[in-house]
Chains A and B, each alone.
Chain A
Amino acid sequence: LAKTTQPISMDSYEGQEVNITCSHNNIATNDYITWYQQFPSQGPRFIIQGYKTKVTNEVASLFIPADRKSSTLSLPRVSLSDTAVYYCLVGSTDSWGKLQFGAGTQVVVTP
């Protein structure tokens, strides 16, 4: 399983765009990049997943450069309810779906 590195914490104000960059230098050819969000006292919740280029859904965008050694989660116009820990994970298609969680990025949104 590829190791990921992401910032420990980020602060933002309501209405701003938050970009969290994750590095995964040892990503394998068949690996997907997945981001989860976790609120206190809850389990992680799937946000977005991608393999290459850009993926967008109703809550976030995921940018993956051509070399795939990093990825950036973009949260547009954050609100107070986006305060959470965000995890970047790289999943191997050969690993039965196993994920290796790091410490994640604590995002704090203030008014």
Chain B
Amino acid sequence: NAGVTQTPKFRVLKTGQSMTLLCAQDMNHEYMYWYRQDPGMGLRLIHYSVGEGTTAKGEVPDGYNVSRLKKQNFLLGLESAAPSQTSVYFCASRKHGDDQPQHFGDGTRLSIL
């Protein structure tokens, strides 16, 4: 059981380049989330999805787009990368239900030069 898998694990981009981070979960979870974590800080929610075909903005959505075309996948896109988006990105998924915990992937470390 792989749980939550993030691809790639590391990436270096130049300012202005675009890329897509992939999150895949094999637990049939309804909810999925994208966070970013900067040094010495907790995670901040970028976007989330409560089901296939639906997405919503989190705390820090600017500069990012997401798509949830399939239930098991949640994609995070950077259309024009900026140095301020250098961070570690975590994806999480969760089963529907009030007391269900989130299950996290091991992150994507993204550096933008």
Contact = CB atoms under 8 A, between A and B. Distances in A.
Q: Classify chain B: how many residues form its interface, as a range.
A: 20 to 34
A41 B108 CA distance: 9
Contact of B105 (A43, A49, A103): A43
Interface residues of A, number: 22
Contacts of B59: 100
The binding surface of chain A is classed by DSSP as loop
B103 to A, nearest CB: 7
29 contacts: A32-B99, A34-B101, A41-B107, A42-B106, A43-B104, A43-B106, A43-B107, A44-B90, A44-B104, A46-B101, A49-B99, A49-B101, A51-B99, A96-B31, A96-B48, A96-B50, A97-B31, A97-B33, A97-B48, A97-B94, A97-B102, A98-B33, A98-B45, A99-B45, A101-B43, A102-B42, A103-B40, A103-B41, A104-B42
Interface of B: 4, 31, 33, 35, 40-45, 48, 50, 56, 58-59, 90, 92, 94, 98-107
Interface of A: 30, 32, 34, 41-46, 49, 51, 87, 93, 96-104
